[in-house]
Amino acid sequence: MNIIEDGILLVDKQPGWTSFDVVAKIRGMRRAALKETGVVPTKRQLKVGHAGTLDPFATGLLIILLGDATKRSDEFLKQDKIYEATIRLGQVSSTGDPEGELTAVSSIQPTEVEIHAALEKFMGQITQTPPIYSAIKINGQRAYKLARKGQVVEIPTRQVTIHSLDLLEYNYPNLKIRTHVSSGTYIRSLAQDIGEALGTGAYCSELRRISIGKMTIDSVSAIL
């Protein structure tokens, strides 16, 4: 695996893996590689982290930080990101993605003109409510852990910026978008909000992260 600069490794995460799974896999690979050379790994050498979680169903760019580079996590978390996503109309999901409980909402089939009009509403700075199944901390605990226990989770709204939101393909019930967003934007929430604007309901069925700041999927050196 090629490290593009001091302690930074770009990974194309595959579906089914959690971000922690990738971190654990790379830590194990580093440990094995060092032992093969007769070196006893130090804690510093085995220090591995990531700069921005990807949901298990999602794919794409995951920045892995090694050793002292783990201190740079906040630097990448604050940068803009580009995603490609498939939004499925007509249903909602309890988690906003394919892993949740699906509920039918409407059989309305919006026209492409209506799709473009709905997307236009979300351009610029918007108010967004992150999903309850997210890693956001509520009173010191991850929101998704509270939700899984059946507790009521109230997520505060936040201001995010949608720099661009382009329709790539529309074949009902699926519409594919490419969007450039500010840090802190949840594409699952964006998908749900688009579904509400169309009156159809919607959830994010596929999600792929293309870039984080200047780091792009084209520069990955590992697929996990």
Catalytic residues: 55
Q: What is the C-alpha to C-alpha distance for residues 211 and 84, in angstroms, rounded to an integer?
A: 10
Q: What is the C-alpha to C-alpha distance for residues 192 and 131, in angstroms, rounded to an integer?
A: 10
How many helices (H) and strands (E) would you count in the chain?
5, 14
Q: Which element (helix H / strand E) includes 8? A: strand 8-13
Structure-block tokens of residue 151: 């507790």
Closest CA to 192 of 80, 52, 85: 85
